[in-house]
Amino acid sequence: MNIPVIAIDGPSASGKGTVAERVAATLGFHFLDSGALYRLTALSAMKHGVALDDEAGVAALAVKLPASFRDGAVWLAEENVTDAIRAEAVGDGASKVAALPAVRAALLDRQRAYRQAPGLVADGRDMGTVVFPDAVAKVFLTASAEARAERRYKQLIEKGNSANLAALVADMQARDARDTARAVAPLKPAADALLLDTTHMGIETAVQKVLAHYDLCKAHSKQGN
């Protein structure tokens, strides 16, 4: 497929979503927040009383997930759940349902459907390894668990939510362990991914590094053709 994809993967709160969104805006590309689909699936399961370890039940919800991204908001059917899917409990639930092979299979085609002209920037945990293995440019963003927990802490406090930094660090570490150890599509950099540690890196610097990497990959791709 000739539609270019930039795949940006990494653990929770590594900055990949913000970086991916800004890269997409700069290039005029579409943007896929794949994590939102897993968060929506977890939220849907919670609303329907389906246990998060009920693989068949959660997968059935994922197949028919009435999710949409419009007007700068995230919707589940006709409910604006932009803030609801960012709750820590939903994020933890997303990590759990993402470990279920049937759920990942149910969401695979939905994610690939976002690949539309003129291009796509996709952010997640397996964009470069599983969903778009032919992406023209692949990036893996990471940061220390402490730095990521501090970022999440600030986000929660700014929104008026209570938060405990030590608990967030523990949650990050547990989520990382679950995401990297799962049998299907574990969190790991693609062999040809650019590794960016954002522990001490600003968002704008990361954006510029991704754009430069894309230009380099695009040039190599043309030479190869």
Q: What distance in Å separates the CA atoms of residue 9 and residue 20, rounded to the nearest whole number?
A: 9
Report whether 162 belongs to an annotated binding site: no
* pLDDT at residue 201, rounded to an integer: 94
β-strand 137-142 against 194-197: which pairing, if any? Answer: parallel
Residue spans of the domains in the chain: they are 5-216
Question: How far separated are the first and last CA of the chain, in Å rounded?
Answer: 14
Read off the pLDDT of each residue in 90-115 and give the average, rounded to a whole number: 92
pLDDT of residue 1: 61
Q: Report the DSSP pairing between strands 120-124 and 30-33.
A: parallel
Among candidates 35, 19, 11, 17, which has minimal Cα distance to 144? 11
Which tokens hold the place of 53? 């370890």
Q: What is the DSSP letter of 128?
A: I
Is residue 72 annotated as involved in ligand binding?
A: no
Q: How far apart are CA 116 and CA 157, in angstroms?
A: 37
Own/partner long-range contacts of 156-163 (Cβ < 8 Å, ≥24 apart): 156/88, 159/83
- 108 pLDDT higher than 90: yes
16: annotated binding-site residue? yes
pLDDT of residue 156: 86
pTM score, two decimals? 0.87
144 carries a ligand binding annotation: no
Please tell me whether 13 is known to bind a ligand.
yes
The answer to the question of whether 202 is labelled as a binding residue is no
Q: Which long-range contacts (CB under 8 A, 24 or more apart) does 63-71 make?
A: 63/106, 65/37, 65/40, 65/41, 65/107, 65/110, 67/36, 67/37, 67/40, 69/33, 69/36
Tokens at 35, concatenated:
């994590």
12: alpha, beta or left? (left if phi > 0; alpha if psi -120 to 50)? beta
Judge whether residue 5 has pLDDT over 90.
yes
56 among the known binding-site residues?
no
E-only strand ranges, 51-172: 67-70, 73-76, 79-80, 120-124, 137-142
pLDDT, position 37? 94
For domain 5-216, the CATH architecture is 3-Layer(aba) Sandwich (3.40)
Tens digit of pLDDT for each residue in 60-84?
A: 999 999 988 877 789 999 999 999 9
Q: Classify the C-alpha dihedral 172-25-196-32 as positive or negative.
A: positive
